[in-house]
Each structure stands twice: as C-alpha cells, then as structure tokens.
Structure 1
C-alpha cells in the first residue's frame, strides 16, 4: 500500500463539532473521529479524514456535537428499582427507616441484575458510557454490565453488619477478593473497594482495605463528609473528624474517591489537594436530602480533581448527567458567591475526564484523544431548546437535555443509534420495572 493510500478503519464519525475535553476547552468545527478495534485512531477535519481513512461504516451528524461519553462517578444502579420510594425525607430517616428495610426484603441477584439493566438503558439514553458502581452482589453487577457492553468500575462492598451479600467481616473480604480475581483482566469491568461510610466501617476493616487497595492497585470509593451530622458523630465516637480518621488509617491518598464531601474545612481541602484525592460531587442528591453543599469552587481552586455523580435513582431521582452538570455549575456559583466559579468547561470536564481520572481510567477514557477507547456520545444541537448556538460547551451544560443524545458508542460499538437502544427491548424493561413495583408495594403494605 502506498503512503497516500487511505487507511482502513472500522468507523468514521463526522460531526459538526467535536469537543475533545482534553486539551483545554477546544471546540473543533467540522471534525471527524476514526475508530479501529474499539480505539480512536484519528481526530481531524472531516474533509481530511475522508481522504486519509477508508471506513467500513460512516456516521454523519453535521448538526451534532461529539463528546466523550459521560462518566457517572457515583451510582447505586440496582436502586433504580426503588425510584420514588420515601421521598422528601432527611438522609438517615430515608436510609434507616425506609430504604434499608425494603432492601432487606428484595435484595438478591435478580433485583441487582434487573436494576442494573434498567439503569444502563437510562444512562445510555442520556449519553453516559461508564459508571462507578456502589452496591451489593458485585459478581452479578459485573456479569450484567459485561453482558450489556457497558463500562463500569464495580464496588466490592464492606459494611459492619450482615447483609444478603455477606454475614461477617471475613466473608465480606473473602468474597471481595474472589470477585476481584474473577474480573481482574476484563477490558470493560474493573473493581474498587466500596466501604459504605466512616460511620458503618470499623478501623480494622479500613486498615485491611488500605492494605488490599495497595496490593491490588484498585481505588477506594467511599461516602464521606456527606452531612454535618456525620462529622459530629465521628467527633463524638473517635474524637476525630472523618477525614482525619481516614488519614490516620492511611486512606487519604490518590486512590481515594471521596463522595459528597459537603462539610469541609480549608485544612481538609488542602490535605486532599496534597494527597491527590478525587472528590465526586452529587449535587442533586445532596440538595434533595438536604445533606449540605460541596464547596466545589474551593476544591477547583485548590487543584483537586472533581468528578460528578448522580448517586442512586432512589435519592435523585434520575441518572441524568446533563441535569447534574447544570446543577453542579449553578450551585457552585451560589455556594461560592462567585458567578465565575465552576464554569461550563469545568462542569463538562468533571462529567467526563474528571470521572475517568477519579476511577483510575483516564488513560483509556474521558476525552477524545488518539489511542483512547472510543466511548463517545453524539448530541443533536439543532433542536429548539439549543438555538441559537453561540457557544457549544455553554449550550451543552446550561441548555441541553438528555433527550438530545442520539448516538452512543462504548469501545467503538454502537449502543444507541438515532435514539434506538441496540440489543435492549425497552418495552420489556418497562414491563419488568412494573412487576418490581407490584412486588415492592406488597412489601410496604
């Protein structure tokens, strides 16, 4: 083949705009992304791409923007089946008096598989291609994500009381190691430790998690500093704030994915910046449960990696990362008293590369760069709601709805085409969700 002959590729996506996220705030007009074997092999002007690549398939979306697939950095996806239960209650009442008792009746492999499947369908329809999962039965979660071709970092749960997943501390760790070993080489599904929270996990368990996290080189995904009450309780029980206790136990490092973080001192922010901690901001769940306000503007100024998560659909009540970006950007301004805090560019980065970095996956996803995996979403900007189009990134964060996502690819494979999910029966999903509603309603009766 001569030097001028076109290079073969599997797929060429031509878009009116490409927002690669890295580097910086670039918006590339009339560009195309070439994909082979699930990886991005070219990012260049469309006219040039047509000359340099011979694609087996071409998708042309001249009125759309191509972005990295959104990364939902904190989810409890099986809880999608609990959407709308026990709304308008504070966190501990919601959790202890309603959610945990219902879960005790329904949780099991079937509940987890069906909840994850429903969540994946919802996330794909909103342009999300990766989730940082935190729930029980990680073996079932992993198998379900793999079956659906969805990228996930699945949590290995540890909590100080018996559940349907494990009865003792030893069993939690034994089962965690078994699941990790089973999935350690999977290209789509990876693992993290998910100790529930400082108030439900002992020092001894945290110390063992730190040791295993180091040995296995996997993150620790943890609710912490979610409410002021949590901080007060920690001071009473341990004479330390939760972050200080975690630091004493060796967990405040670049493997820590700290979720919520609504009650922070300047010294704690500085510590997180120094140690390379990632913070996952879940603004809508925090607002709904009146948990507090994450000081995102201060975190960003300190140089802390920020990601965005929806939390579970039982406390949000959706898995809409476009809504979450908008709320995160607007709330940050109100909390900081500064209209320039956490810009649209920052919000989009947090919802893509920030999430990937928190999960330790930024070498493969989170931005549109040659060599990375082709996890991508195409968003139609020609709708009434996003006209006139003065600024693409601003429009994505402040005006776009998830219904404008038309196409989604994970690892170069189409998972949604022109708003039609690939390989998923939406009517069957709805029917299954309805039978879970009936089963749960019988428990509540």
Structure 2
C-alpha cells in the first residue's frame, strides 16, 4: 500500500551536499509535513509514495536552499546610491547620512520585502540580517514564508530605532522574546563592528548570549582602518579585544575577516567561531582579500554572504559562490583551492552551521526541513553537463532557478513568486528612489 504524502519531486540530479560532492541521478525527494521523509531512486519512490503534488524536473538539479549568512536587507533601497568608494567614505559620507534621513519602519519593511523577493528568485531560502527594526524584518519574512535569523542590532550612536546601547539591547530582547517560538525566525545579537560598539555593550552581549544561547554576529577585521582604530582606541587588534571580552567562541559569526595575521587564524580556529565570507562586497569596497585557503586549512567553518545590496550591488548567491571559488584560487595561487563542491557547501550547510541551524537546513537529508531549490541546467550556457555541481558554481546564473520551497511550502513556482508581488515591490522601490534622490 502506497504512503500518502504531500509532495514528490523527481529531478535529473539531486545534490544532497552531505556527503560533499555526491550527485544522485534520477532520484526523487519525498516531502510530507514540511520535512524530507525520503530520498531514493525514482522508480522506488513511484511505487512507495502517492503524492498530492508530483513534480518531474528533467534537466534540472535539486539543491538545498542557499543560505545568505550576512546581509542588510533594507539597504536594497540604497542600491547604487553611492558606488565606487572605500568603506569608511561610503559609510560616513553617504550611507549613514542617508539612513539618518530615511530609515523608518516603512523603509525597512519595503526594503526587506524587495530583498526577500530577489533572494527567493535566486534560490536563497534563509538569510542572516543585521539592521534596524529587526522586528519589522522578522514579520515580513514570516509573512513571506522565508527562513531568517534577524540581528538584534547594537551600536553606540543613536538612531530612529534606539537612543543608546542600553535601549538597543532592551528592544532587541523584546524582539527575541516575540519570535522565540517561531519555527522560521531565529535571532542573534548583532553588534555592528568593533569601531562602532564600545566595551560595555559588548560585555553585556557576551553575558546575554551565554544565557539565551543565541549567536553573536559582527563585522570583524574588515579593513585596515578598523585595525588602526582598534590599536589607537583600545591598544588591541579587534579580534584580541573580542577575545579579552569573552566573545571569541563557537557562537561567534565573524563577518569578512580579511586582515588576519597567522596567529589570529589559528586562534580563531581554536575558538570554534565561524567566518562569513563576502567576496564581492570586499572586492567592490577594495577592503582586501579574505585568506580563505588558510582559514580552511586551519579548520574554520566558512559560510558565504552577499552583504547588503548597497555595497555589492546584488543579493546573488550563485555569483557569490563563483567569486569565492575564483578569488580563493587566485589568492592562494592554487587552482585546487575551494573546488566547486566546497563552494556549494559554503553556500548551504556551512551557512547553516554558522547560524546554528545545521540540524534543520543546509542539506537534503531525511528528517530535515524541506528547504530546497531547483536549478534548470537545460540552458545554452550550462550545456553540456559533465558535472552538475561545477555547472551550478561556474556556469549557472540565478535566473535558472525554477522552483523554491521553504519548509515544504512552494515560494517560487516556475520562476514566479507565490507570496510576494514583484510588480508592487518594483513600484514601491521606484517611489523610494524618487524620495531619496530628491533629498
């Protein structure tokens, strides 16, 4: 007797990610109650399951949903506002003044929805955000059916969200309590950076992170300026300061990690912390090159992020995988560094590990949530297909994503969003452009 299930998906290739590099041909994925309950040859699946929804995907590869491990969603509304500038000039002279003028609940809601729509269409099912009004972003993600970790932003200077670091933490804890039982939404403390957060809030965050067992998400060792400021203001390099404050731990999500000395790499590896690599933003802001090969050799878990659309200028994880792989090879002087399968792992299971979600997402395994995407390789630019993983990393584009599911719910069907209205989002973005451009 056949088992009744919600969905059965048969694809030409299924790439589970665990084990790394494995490709299953002519297999099927069985989904019921939002979870993967079977991964087996297509003929066996057909005889075992009776599915309410059955989908066949010839010429397509099924992969875990991509995890964008660092971004600033609402900054999508600042995309292209101040390009071709170094980080500190970009922040101090353009982005922070624009944020002071325009950031509001409406701004964050509209920018977050725009970003989520872009990411979903590109196969990203989970994101890790750092921005003001995290409650607004969390509600928008829940409404869209997308998985998220929202950062409980903390910074020394006042904003429309909070007046001082104590209020940032107070309001952040309220957001944590509001979403603590939500199956799709998780939280992380998000002190902006060592140069913008003083010791007192960092010490408090360390205590709260231990008590609540939630991660800490921070920009770290992104620029030489940051290192110089750390030495001048604290008589320490930023990572050493975090270690002194007790923040170097397995719950730390360190974003960028470009300017590192050999001893810092080994010390970070020993801490069990995670590095979130944002290669395209680093390139565009000329911040430098993350020592990917050395971090991997030391055993550090490396995830991938896009950063915000104001400094990238897109939220394209396919492009990020390709850039990460190519850049790592060039920096290391070794073509074998960061092969395609490892780049795909960085965009999936490694991101899940960095967020503490590896038991739930990041690979196609029985028992995990059905967060997945289908990539159509039956296009001119991805033919012929000798190695599907190589095609996905080195040749495919995000426009080849045809279907996306989060917790078994289909959020992209044949390339079209099911829970967000792209026309309305484009109209709202145009309205924001008019307002911001006029000043």
Q: TM-score, normalised by structure 1?
A: 0.98
Aligned residues: 439
Q: Equivalent residue of 1:200, what SS? A: coil
* 1:306-321 correspondence runs (5 A): 306-321=302-317
Q: How far did residue 271 of structure 1 move? A: 1.2
* 1:129-278 correspondence runs (5 A): 129-278=125-274
CA distance in 1, matches of 2:281, 2:42: 41
Q: Which moved more, 1:30-39 or 1:229-238?
A: 229-238
Q: Which runs of 5+ in 1 are unaligned?
A: none
* 1:433-444 correspondence runs (5 A): 433-443=429-439
CA distance in 2, matches of 1:365, 1:72: 13
- The alignment's C-alpha RMSD in Å is 0.7
CA distance in 1, matches of 2:190, 2:222: 15
Q: Equivalent residue of 1:250, what SS? A: coil
* 1:332-351 correspondence runs (5 A): 332-351=328-347
Report the equivalent of 1:389.
Answer: 385
Of 360, 366, 371, the residue aligned with 1:370 is 366
Q: How far did residue 423 of structure 1 move? A: 2.6
CA distance in 2, matches of 1:168, 1:259: 23
Per-residue CA deviations over 1:41-82 (Å, capped at 9, x if unaligned) read: 000111111111111110110210000000000000000010
Q: How far did residue 169 of structure 1 move? A: 2.0
Q: Equivalent residue of 1:92, what SS? A: helix
Q: How far did residue 424 of structure 1 move? A: 2.0
Report the equivalent of 1:66.
Answer: 62
Q: Equivalent residue of 1:134, what SS? A: strand
Residues 289, 331 of structure 2: 8 Å contact kept: yes
CA distance in 2, matches of 1:352, 1:367: 7
Structure 1 runs of 4+ with >4 Å offset? none
CA distance in 1, matches of 2:261, 2:342: 22
